[in-house]
Each structure stands twice: as C-alpha cells, then as structure tokens.
C-alpha cells in the first residue's frame, strides 16, 4: 500500500546527497555509494534487529534513523554528544559510522568550538532553507540583545572614567553642576534604551504569535523527515 509521497514498504529510496566544496570521491567509493543508495529503505520506526551486524542494510537503517532524528530538531542540527549518547541502545557505534561514511548527508562542524552535526540537505551554506518561526524569533531576539548592548556601550564609553570625572569635578562648583547634568542625561538615556528594548521584544512576540496563529488557521503543517509532511 502506497504511503505519503507514493512510498511503499520495500522501496529503494535514495538519500539527497550534498558534497562539500572541494570534496573528491574515487571510483571505488562512488560505486559503493551508488549501490548503497539502491538498497531497500527500512523505516527508522521499524525494528531492525533482524539485520546482520555491520551490513550495509543496517547502515542504511541507522542513517535513516539519524536523518529522521535531525529532522525533528527545529534547527536541523544538534551537538555531537547528543547523537553519541545512545550507547544503552547500541546506536553509538552505528551513528558514529554513519557520520564517518556519509559526509554528503551529515556535516560535522567545529565552527563555534563545539562539534555540531548538521543535516546537509536542510542548509544552504550556513543558513536554513526552511526557516521555522521559532528560529526566526531566536534570530530577532539575538539581534535585539546585540543592539541594546551596542547602545549601552556607546552611552557608557566617555573619555574619562566616572571616578576620575567625579574627582576632577570636586575642584569647582561649576564642574559639579556639569557632572550632575551628565549623570541625569546618562540615566535618562539608559531608561529610554531599556524602554525601547521592552517595546521591541513585545512587538516581536506579538508578530510571531500572529504568524503562528495565521499558519494554524490556514491548516499549516510542519515537516517530519524527507518522506513527506504530517498534519498538526
């Protein structure tokens, strides 16, 4: 019986391959990949205990399981330790083999100083192809925090430190008045900056909630795996 996207049990489904720039593959490896792609696709939700250990069939099942797992994550990526912590289920060695043997499906990044596993097909360069509303909210929140930080740095970066300024201002009463005026101005600017931050955060939240409600009213769906879409 055909499932979503015309899938039938026992079909040989090929995974989308995306090679990194400059990646070279010899003829022997290419032949193995082509034959591996033609193997029967076993659903990651099926029991694969009957498959021979270290077989290509079991390898393809493990790749399908890791592929589906990364698709369930909103950013389509996760820390490597989150992938290799399934020792109790006997999946650690299989996932490690999948990462080593299939760099065209999974990409291991060390850009942020951490080992992160990404799903190649979900990214174009460093950006997600299909942006999730939660990820968009996260990006806007980070941008907002960076903007507020820059504003505060510009306010709190005078030529002299507050202590030195207060010491120099004690010489004359005129300088004391100037310093008092400066302190009031800084406090006012910081209050305005804090108010702007709160307004931006509230507006961002309202916009994202409106987008999500509109998506629900239109019967929106989210993607689970490359086999198709599931309704909410």
The predicted-structure confidence for 63-108, as pLDDT tens digits, reads as follows 999 999 999 998 999 999 888 887 778 888 899 999 999 999 999 9
Q: How far is CA 214 from CA 59, 74, 207, 210, 211, in A?
A: 41, 19, 11, 6, 5
What are the two backbone dihedrals, phi and then psi, of residue 106, each rounded to the nearest 5 degrees?
Answer: -120, 140
The reported pLDDT for the residue numbered 1 is 40
The reported pLDDT for the residue numbered 113 is 81
What are the two backbone dihedrals, phi and then psi, of residue 45, each rounded to the nearest 5 degrees?
Answer: -90, 0
Place of tokens 């993607």: 223
pLDDT above 70: residue 116: yes
Q: Show the beta-strand stretches assigned E in 37-142.
A: 77-79, 106-109, 116-119, 123-124, 127-128
In a 3-state reduction of DSSP, which class is residue 113?
coil
pLDDT above 70: residue 122: yes
DSSP 6-41: G--TT--PPPP--PPTT----HHHHHHHHHHHTSPP
Burial class (CB in 10 A: 0-12, 13-18, 19+), 65: buried
pTM over 0.85: no
Name 13's Cβ contacts closer than 8 Å, sequence gap at least 6: 7, 41
Between 99 and 127, name the one with better pLDDT: 99
| Report for 46-55, 126-135, 143-152, 162-171: range of highest mean pLDDT | 46-55
pLDDT (tens digit per residue) in 177-216: 555 555 555 455 544 455 555 556 556 666 566 666 566 6
The reported pLDDT for the residue numbered 196 is 56
Q: For 115-161, where are the alpha helices, taking DSSP H only?
A: 133-155
Q: Which of 36-50, 64-78, 106-120, 140-154 has the lowest mean pLDDT?
A: 140-154
CB 93 within 8 A of CB 85: no
Task: Map out the domains of the chain as residue ranges.
Answer: 4-128, 133-231
């Amino acid at each position: 019986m055909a499932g979503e996207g015309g899938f039938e049990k026992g079909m040989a489904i090929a995974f989308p391959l995306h090679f990194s720039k400059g990646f070279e593959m010899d003829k022997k490896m290419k032949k193995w990949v082509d034959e591996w792609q033609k193997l029967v696709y076993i659903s990651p939700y099926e029991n694969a205990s009957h498959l021979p250990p270290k077989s290509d069939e079991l390898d393809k099942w493990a790749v399908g399981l890791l592929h589906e797992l990364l698709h369930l994550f909103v950013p389509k990526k996760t820390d490597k330790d989150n992938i290799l912590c399934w020792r109790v289920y006997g999946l650690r060695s299989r996932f490690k083999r999948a990462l080593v043997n299939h760099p065209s499906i999974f990409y291991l990044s060390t850009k942020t100083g951490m080992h992160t596993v990404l799903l190649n097909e979900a990214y174009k360069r460093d950006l997600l192809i299909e942006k999730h509303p939660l990820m968009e909210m996260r990006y806007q929140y980070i941008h907002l925090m960076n903007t507020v930080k820059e504003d505060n740095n510009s306010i709190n970066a005078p030529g002299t430190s507050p202590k030195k300024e207060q010491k120099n201002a004690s010489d004359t009463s005129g300088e004391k008045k100037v310093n008092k005026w400066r302190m009031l101005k800084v406090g006012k600017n910081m209050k305005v900056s804090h108010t702007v931050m709160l307004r931006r955060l509230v507006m961002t939240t309202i916009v994202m909630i409106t987008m999500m409600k509109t998506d629900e009213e239109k019967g929106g769906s989210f993607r689970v795996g490359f086999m198709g879409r599931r309704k909410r």
